[in-house]
Chains A and B, each alone.
Chain A
Amino acid sequence: MAKYLLLKHYRGAPAAADDVPMDRWTPEEISAHVQYMRDFADRLQETGEFVDGQALAPEGTWVRYDGEGRPPVTDGPFAETKDLIAGWMVIDTDTYERAVELAGELSAAPGAGGRPIHEWLELRPFLAEPPTVTE
């Protein structure tokens, strides 16, 4: 088994195929979208592949150490063009192929008109613990 991170982006990813902004969807379409992701997580828990999932607020702040005795510097919210992560899900699958398959399934969440949005999801493997045997 290997763990993978599925990243959803607010901005910075290539445009989804069904690229209607969420505030133009009907409330029912939004509910259907949210429900799809919940069902997806439930299903993964049943298959023993679910690890974690969280949503993030769109506001992010850049923070930097500013020297001894001074408060950290903050750079305010992200500029419009910057990449921004909307949320993540961590899965634990037997193969990379299975992880790709699941990411594809999550990308098919319904959007405007109930059509799958075909959004881009970033799939990143976790760096593992080193195996006991390496030599």
Chain B
Amino acid sequence: MDEALLRSLTPGVLGILVRRGADFAAAEDAVQDALLEAVRVWPSGQPRDPKGWLVTVAWRRFLDAARSDTARRRREDLADEEPEPGPVSGTDDTLWLYFLCAHPSLTPSSAVALTLRAVGGLSTRQIARAYLVPEATMAQRISRAKRTVGGARFEKPGDVGTVLRVLYLVFNEGYSGDVDLAAEAIRLTRQLGAAVDHPEVAGLLALMLLHHARRPARTAPDGSLVPLAEQDRGRWDTGAIAEGVAILQAALARDRLGEFQAQAAVAALHADAPTAQETDWVQIVEWYDELARLTDSPVVRLNRAVAVGEADGPRAGLAALATVDPGLPRRTAAEAYLRERDGDPRTAARLYAEAAREASSLAERDHLTRQAARLNTRPGA
């Protein structure tokens, strides 16, 4: 029984049902029924056209449910008027479902939950565990999201950028519960890439692969953060790096630069360096300049200041940092690092301690506290 195949077929099947006029929630129930049926029946002989099989079974289930519910009379009429299941363009329906789940009327967290449920085919329990909330709460979040987009109809495709932002949110959640959300985000982005021809989809996929490749080296066995410069590069996944770089190069060759491609270019330059000292910081600064032009985001200016500090020395980095809003998260940590490199350990220690108090994650706070302690306890401090 090929679970990966079933999960990759789910969004297309669901998309077809919804397009034929099925209410979103009822369509999802019907698709779940069809998947269960497939798990039961396929081991003794997989159909030649698995997707067509799923569409037919799901559509029948949907009609049965609609018929058995007299209160849903109107929906039944609607369903009966629709043509019988036949060949449909698969990629369009998958794509359409991505747009629906990332609909602008949804809050980011609802869009994320709905995407994982409807496009990713994860169970509500799995999503609840990944986000550390009760299953009942997640069930409500998803059913509210379904109601919100229930009446949405698209005349034309939605905004790919909206879908990509949702997938990037999923990716950033990383790993908790029994689902690796980063790996799931990569899978969904690959699937999206098969349905839509857009260089930013490739850019995001490359970015995810390049970050994912370095993940094993990012944390020590005790869970503490290992900064990029100190990571054991032998633990990076060279296969994923090579794939990410190849995807990025193909995307850049199309000359339609976007935010994700530029970010992936920075990640690729880090991944390419055999040692931290050999990092091409000059080129990284240039990519941050491109990013700043594309987004003008304060986070980009902060990262650029750190890169300038590496390329042109800590004084130049501090000058670049002066234009970054003092309230921005991680700005204090960046300043502490630059002050230390500029030969001012006392100020650096004070700033590291301050940055630790501002940190939003435990691993980051512990890391910054250790930095402050290192400077405060060394001989002559």
Q: Which positions in A face B, CB cutoff 8 Å?
A: 1, 3, 44-52, 92, 94, 125, 127-135
Query: Can you list 14 A-B pairs, Cβ within 8 angstroms, ordered by A?
Result: A45-B140, A48-B113, A48-B133, A92-B109, A92-B131, A92-B133, A94-B108, A125-B360, A129-B174, A130-B361, A132-B173, A132-B212, A132-B215, A135-B228
Q: CB-CB < 8 A to A44: which residues of B?
A: 137
Contact between A133 and B109, CB atoms less than 8 A apart:
no
A52-B134, A127-B362, A129-B361 known; 18 other A-B pairs, CB under 8 Å? A44-B137, A46-B140, A48-B110, A49-B137, A51-B137, A94-B108, A94-B109, A130-B174, A131-B173, A132-B172, A132-B173, A132-B211, A132-B212, A133-B171, A134-B218, A134-B225, A135-B267, A135-B270
Number of A-B contacts (CB under 8 A): 82
Q: Which positions in B face A, CB cutoff 8 Å?
A: 107-110, 113, 131-134, 136-138, 140-142, 144, 171-174, 176, 182, 211-212, 215, 218, 225, 228, 267, 270, 359-365
Contact between B174 and A132, CB atoms less than 8 A apart:
yes
When the two chains form the complex, which single residue of B137, B171, B215 contacts A48, counting CB atoms closer than 8 Å? B137
Q: CB-CB < 8 A to A48: which residues of B?
A: 109-110, 113, 133, 137-138, 140-142, 144
Q: CB-CB < 8 A to B138: which residues of A?
A: 48
Nearest CB on A from B122, distance (A):
16
> Which single residue of chain A is at the shortest CB-CB distance from B172?
A131
Q: CB-CB < 8 A to B172: which residues of A?
A: 131-133
Q: CB-CB < 8 A to B211: which residues of A?
A: 132-133
Q: CB-CB < 8 A to B182: which residues of A?
A: 132
Rounded to whole angstroms, the CA-CA distance of A109 and B363 in the bound complex is: 37
Closest 7 CB pairs of A and B: A48-B141, A1-B109, A132-B174, A130-B361, A127-B362, A131-B172, A130-B363
Q: CB-CB < 8 A to B363: which residues of A?
A: 129-130
Contact between A47 and B364, CB atoms less than 8 A apart:
no
Contact between A50 and B134, CB atoms less than 8 A apart:
yes
> Which single residue of chain A is at the shortest CB-CB distance from B109?
A1
* Known interface pairs A1-B131, A48-B110, A132-B211; A127-B365 also in contact (CB < 8 Å): yes
Rounded to whole angstroms, the CA-CA distance of A92 and B132 in the bound complex is: 10
Nearest CB on B from A96, distance (A):
11
Rounded to whole angstroms, the CA-CA distance of A92 and B218 in the bound complex is: 27
Contact between B133 and A51, CB atoms less than 8 A apart:
yes
Q: CB-CB < 8 A to A135: which residues of B?
A: 228, 267, 270
> Which single residue of chain A is at the shortest CB-CB distance from B266?
A135
> Which single residue of chain A is at the shortest CB-CB distance from B108?
A94
Contact between B360 and A128, CB atoms less than 8 A apart:
yes
> Which single residue of chain A is at the shortest CB-CB distance from B170?
A132
Rounded to whole angstroms, the CA-CA distance of A52 and B135 in the bound complex is: 12
Nearest CB on A from B365, distance (A):
7
Q: CB-CB < 8 A to A130: which residues of B?
A: 174, 225, 361-364
Q: Which residue, of A1, A49, A128, has the highest number of chain B Cβ atoms within 10 A? A: A1
Q: CB-CB < 8 A to B132: which residues of A?
A: 3, 51
